[in-house]
Structure formats: structure tokens, C-alpha cells
Amino acid sequence: MKKEIVINSLNIDFKGEFKLNNQLFTIPGVINGEKVLVEVDDNPRFKKAKLLKIITPSKNRVNPICPIFNKCGGCSLQHIKYQEQLVLKTKWMNDLFYNKFKKNFNIPLVLGMKDPKHYRNKNQMVIKKDKNKIIAGMYEEGTHQVLDFNNCFIQDEIINKVQEQIKKLIIEFKYQPFDEDKKTGLFRHILVKRSSSTKEILVVLVTSKLDFPGKNNFVKALIKLNKEITSVVQNVNDRKTSAVLGEKEVVLYGPGFIFDNLLGKKFKITSKSFYQINSLQTEVLYQAAIKEANLSKDDVLLDAYAGVGTIGLICADKVKKVYSVEIVKDAVKCGKDNAKYNNISNVVFVNDDATKYINELAQRKEHIDVIIMDPPRSGSTKEFLNAIKLIKPKKIVYVSCNPITQVDDLEYLLDQYTIKSIQGVDMFPFTNHVETITLLCLKEPKK
């Protein structure tokens, strides 16, 4: 049945929500207040709604820039003016924190970008054969279909260009993409990382096996594509899963890594270790987090879930000592190298599970003044939070890429800590993600 609906609320994924016959429906691509025509199938088994027409567009509506907006699913907020995206993300955070803590925190506007395009410093392209034609790009949302497209407007423009050139080179050299069913062919993915500060480019060729016939000539042609390609790595992925990278790597050209600069410090980027995707906004994020931490020269800082050590290293000259804990071995190695490149000697790097390590610190009765924690999307653990309560740092700065798990973690700390401030940072413009920084302070003991 066709139905005219006014969208009154957006859900947690910024999709429009409406109720019909007591059933809840969601549709992407709409804005609060818009009157739309939808096709509804209200059979509880098939229950779905499809957007047919926007009848009264919102004043905040813009035409999506990207030709595959409806297919890729990556930038689901493209139909909304950028300033309004920031307003909506801020409202989303306010609602999330209000619903959890029944308190209005008056969260300030999410910190956005001046020019929110071409911000991604890393992209992976899938290579496949489709009816005898080699195609390369990203997966269509929710499917295993590859969209033959390398002109993504949130991607670094040079990465787009290099990827398109590599695709042509693969065709020219007559290499075959890996076929998951037949288990034939060589190329699986091409991963490209580029630093906008140093301009260096790292190309990672993900192959199905180690044997790479004609690789010398291929690499020679590859580095001619752009003089800023300073490293080429072969990553061998013979796994059956959809994980992009395998364990084994061979450096085919250059040192096998590139450098990026953040807030005056130099960081090594490899194929495997985590590195923030949007370098410009990472500086905004870190500056905001460090401001909240308000560090002093005598402080001991714990940087938990540290990646390649960025936050701890940037804070190192503001404090006495930093403990930096991270679970990925390669990232910790990068962290140690990063300390050397920046002549920093007061950071202790630990390759361990953050929960296990903070418990050791608690048992040793180690004194920690400030914790900056930046866990993955799943959040931290109850044991980690319990250990914080034993150590009693005066401040915790909790940086989160998933505020939904963050609020649960925060709730667990509120018997001993008070939320002092919350700030959102737009690390991924046009997508429905927002990064949050929450400052918690230890409650004064009751006299």
C-alpha cells in the first residue's frame, strides 16, 4: 500500500522512523519534518517500507554528491547539509546521554571539518572478475557484489587515482583476480594508505598466495605511477574469511611503511596497525582530549588501547611518565619506533590486553594520575573499569568511536566518578558515526 507520512524522528542509525498499525518502520535517506510517499508492506513477515517520493523536502536537504549513494551505504547522510549533519549528531549524542543518565548535559556542537571531503587516508579496493571483465571497488551494502567504482568523494583524491591506475595495471599485466569458489587467481585486494602531511603513499598488494610471478616488473611499473609511492608491500591472504589482510608480508619496495605527522610528531604507518582514518580531525580530536586531560608535569598517564602510541607520545612532553598499552604486536612495535623518531624516552610500551595490564598496575599499587582510554567499538570491560576504581586516577578521558557502548561503561564508573564534559568530534563526515570525548573526575571523598 502507498502512504503519505511525515517523518517525526530519526532512529539511532539516522534513518527515518514512523509507526503504522502499531508497527515500526524505518527508511533511509529522509530528514526530520519531511513529508514523503512510501510503499509499505505491513505483513509482519515481510514488513518493510520503501521511499517513493519526497513530497515536502526539508530546507536542510541537498542532492547527494555520489553516483552510488543508494548502493554503497557508506555515506548515508549525504542528503543532509553538512552543518545540519553536525546538529543532528549533537542531538543524537544529547538524546543518548539523556536517556542513559536522565540528565541534560548541554553537549556543545560536534566539532566538524571546514572542508569535509576527501578526508580518508586509507582505502581498500576489492578485485573481482565479473563476466570476464575485471572490476575493482567496494562492496555493495549488505552484499558480496563489487561496485566497479574508484571515485569516492570522502577518499583522498590521490588514493582514488592510484587505485584506478593499479586496476589498469593489473589488467595490462593480465593478472587474474582471486576466485573464491574456484580458488584460482592472484589479486584479492589493493590497500592504499597516504599521508596528506608527508605525501607518502603505501601500496599493499593482497594476494591469495606467496608465489607472485613477474612481480619485479609489476612493481617497477607500479612505482612509476606516482613518485610519492615510497613503499610497496605484498600481503599474503590465503584465509577463507572476508578479512582483508593475511599474516605473512613481503616488502617489495622501500621501507614497507610511511610516515604521517600529527600535532608536530612523526608517526610510522604500516599495513596492519590501527591508524586514525581522518588525520586532520585526529588532530582536532587529540587536542580536545588533551585539553580535557589538563595534564601537568608531575602526572603519570595511562594511554590505554593505544594503537601506534599516538596519544601517549603527543602527551609525553607534558607529563612525567606514560604507560601505553595495546594488544596488536605490530602496533606496539610501531609505537616504540615512533618514540625513537620523536626522541621520546618517558613512554613505557606494553603489548598486552588492556584489562590484564591495568589489573597488574592496580595490584602493584602503581600511581596513575590520568587515564586516556580509547577502546574499540565494543567498548571496555567491567574488569578494566573495576581496576580504574582501585587505582583512582583523578581524571579519565574516555575517547570513543561508539558512544552506545561508551555510555554503558560510563554508567559503571559513576559511583566514584562524575561526568564533567562531553564533546563530539566529526571524524567521519557524511556517515552516521560520531566520536565522543568524555571527561570524568574522581568524586571528592565525603568528610
Q: Say if CB 399 and CB 409 are below 8 A apart.
A: no
In angstroms, the Cα distances linking 346 to 222, 326, 350, 368, 420 are 40, 17, 13, 14, 29
Quote the cell numbers at residue 228: 610519492
Site for ligand SAH in 230-289 (CB under 6 A): 274, 276
Q: Does 391 bind ligand SAH (CB under 6 A)?
A: no
Cα–Cα distance, 241 to 170 (Å, whole number) = 23
Rg over alpha carbons for the chain, rounded to the nearest Å, is 24
Nearer to ligand SAH, 269 or 410 (CB): 269
Q: Does 292 bind ligand SAH (CB under 6 A)?
A: no
Stretch that binds ligand SAH, among 103-111, 233-241, 306-314, 434-442 (CB under 6 A): 306-314
Nearer to ligand SAH, 17 or 337 (CB): 337
Nearer to ligand SAH, 274 or 417 (CB): 274
Q: Does 90 bind ligand SAH (CB under 6 A)?
A: no
Smallest gap from residue 327 Cβ to ligand SAH (A) = 4
In the annotation, is 401 catalytic? yes
In this structure, the chain runs to a length of 447
Q: Does 407 bind ligand SAH (CB under 6 A)?
A: no
Stretch that binds ligand SAH, among 15-23, 54-62, 74-82, 324-332 (CB under 6 A): 324-332
Q: Sign of the CA dihedral 165, 166, 172, 177?
A: negative
Site for ligand SAH in 342-381 (CB under 6 A): 353-354, 374, 376
Smallest gap from residue 226 Cβ to ligand SAH (A) = 26
Q: What is the distance between the terminal CA atoms of the chain, rounded to a whole angstrom?
A: 66
Options 306, 368, 391, 422; binder of ligand SAH; rule CB under 6 A? 306
Smallest gap from residue 288 Cβ to ligand SAH (A) = 13
Please give the residue whose beta carbon sits closest to ligand SAH in the complex.
Answer: 307
Q: Say if CB 307 and CB 349 are below 8 A apart.
A: no
Residue of 75, 152, 334, 401 marked active site: 401
Enumerate residues 6+ apart whose C-beta is below 8 A from 312. Answer: 301, 303, 306, 322, 323, 324, 335, 347, 372
Smallest gap from residue 245 Cβ to ligand SAH (A) = 13
Q: Does 121 bind ligand SAH (CB under 6 A)?
A: no
Size of the site for ligand SAH (CB under 6 A): 16
Quote the cell numbers at residue 390: 582501585
In angstroms, the Cα distances linking 423 to 26, 224, 315, 393, 435 are 28, 44, 19, 21, 8
Stretch that binds ligand SAH, among 28-36, 94-102, 211-219, 321-329 (CB under 6 A): 321-329
Phi first, then psi, for residue 323 (nearest 5°) are -100, 130
Cα–Cα distance, 271 to 237 (Å, whole number) = 13
The residues of the shown chain that bind ligand SAH, judged by CB under 6 A, are 274, 276, 305-307, 310-311, 325-328, 331, 353-354, 374, 376
Q: Which are the catalytic amino acids?
A: 401
